[in-house]
């Protein structure tokens, strides 16, 4: 772990800072070495957290190798910065956080995990089952848990299907507000509104605005955020963090990836 004495949750919590960007890296979609290169480029472009996960059936060995490669790359960059009078070590003080599809996709090399209840699932497995399976391993590994209420909104995509979620529609503002209140009362620190990986459209801004009314939660929004305008709209509606993954996965080159990430990250602080 390279994030120092401050806990990851303290770094993630909502504060006076502007909205921040998360780069999601799916370990099933590239080698660990390529994942590390993408993660470094993301941090250079301004991302302040890296999620590792996404696919529901990725073996833990692949997840672990990806986390290790990213951590090693960050540690090398941090060391190099410490040897440079003009270097900024804090740039590389970025949490590597598991975003798991289940208890099979864990790694002791991660700094933390979004320990999620899929609140609008109709299956016990995603409400508490996978969590019970994973908790003993996380305790053994010493991976910090970030208590997260996870709510899947329309269109929902694959996560909505696999998670058997009763999707929150764009007009369900009172319902999403109730979920946010419920998350706060459970003691969750984070509320994650998810439209689904590669979704045709992002979480509706009316839902984000209504969830934002509940104080004390750090609001994360992901899925379907393809353009800087999408990100700007989510941030203006109240997102503290925006997560992008798919839009950067198909970049034809590292230069194109850098350009896309800089545009998305820039949109976080434009409001």
Does some domain include residue 223? yes
**1 pLDDT higher than 60:** no
Number of structural domains the chain divides into: 1
Whether this prediction's pTM lies above 0.85 is answered by yes
Secondary structure (DSSP) of 126-188: IIIIHHHHHHHHHHHHTPEEEEEEEEEBTT-HHHHHHTTB-PBPTT-HHHHHHHHHHHHHHT-
Identify the weakest region by mean pLDDT among 54-63, 93-102, 192-201, 221-230.
54-63
> Taking each helix axis from N to C terminus, what angle separates 254-268 and 32-44, rounded to the nearest 10 degrees?
40
Does some domain include residue 214? yes
**pLDDT, tens digit (0-9, with 9 covering 90-100), for 224-243:** 999 999 999 999 999 999 99
Does some domain include residue 265? no
Question: Residue range 130-148: average pLDDT?
Answer: 96
Q: What is the CATH number of the domain that holds 73?
A: 3.20.20.390
Query: How far apart are the C-alpha atoms of 203 and 260, rounded to whole Å?
Result: 20
DSSP code, position 197? T
Does some domain include residue 258? no
**pLDDT, tens digit (0-9, with 9 covering 90-100), for 102-111:** 888 899 999 9
**3 pLDDT higher than 70:** no
Residue ranges making up the domain that contains 181: 19-250
Query: How far apart are the C-alpha atoms of 150 and 116, rounded to whole Å?
Result: 6
Does some domain include residue 199? yes
Does some domain include residue 8? no
Does some domain include residue 224? yes
* 58, two tokens: 């990725």
Distance of CA 162 to the CA centre of its chain: 19
Does some domain include residue 209? yes
User: Going by C-beta distance under 8 Å and a sequence separation of 6 or more, which residues neighbour residue 259?
Assistant: none
> CA distances (Å), 153 to each of 21, 160, 245, in order?
20, 8, 17
């Amino acid at each position: 772990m390279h994030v120092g004495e401050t806990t990851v949750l303290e770094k993630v919590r909502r504060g006076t800072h502007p909205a921040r960007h998360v780069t999601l890296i799916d370990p099933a979609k590239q080698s660990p070495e390529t994942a590390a290169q993408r993660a470094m480029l993301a941090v250079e472009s301004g991302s302040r957290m890296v999620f590792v996960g996404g696919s529901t059936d990725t073996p833990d060995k692949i997840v672990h190798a990806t986390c290790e490669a990213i951590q090693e790359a960050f540690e090398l960059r941090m060391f190099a910065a410490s040897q440079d009078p003009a270097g900024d070590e804090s740039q590389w003080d970025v949490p590597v956080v598991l975003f798991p599809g289940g208890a099979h996709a864990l790694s002791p090399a991660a700094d933390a995990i979004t320990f999620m209840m899929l609140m609008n699932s109709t299956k016990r497995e995603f409400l508490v089952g996978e969590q019970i399976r994973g908790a003993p391993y996380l305790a053994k590994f010493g991976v910090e848990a970030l208590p997260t209420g996870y709510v899947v909104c329309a269109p929902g995509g694959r996560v909505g299907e696999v998670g058997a979620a009763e999707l929150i529609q764009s007009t369900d503002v009172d319902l999403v507000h109730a979920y946010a209140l419920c998350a706060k009362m459970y003691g969750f620190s984070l509320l994650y509104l998810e439209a689904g990986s590669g979704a045709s459209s992002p979480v509706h801004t009316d839902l984000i605005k209504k969830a934002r009314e509940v104080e004390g939660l750090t609001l994360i929004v992901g899925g379907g955020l393809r353009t800087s305008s999408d990100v700007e709209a989510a941030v203006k509606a109240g997102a503290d963090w925006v997560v992008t993954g798919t839009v950067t996965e198909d970049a034809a080159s590292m230069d194109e990836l850098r350009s896309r990430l800089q545009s998305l990250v820039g949109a976080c602080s434009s409001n």
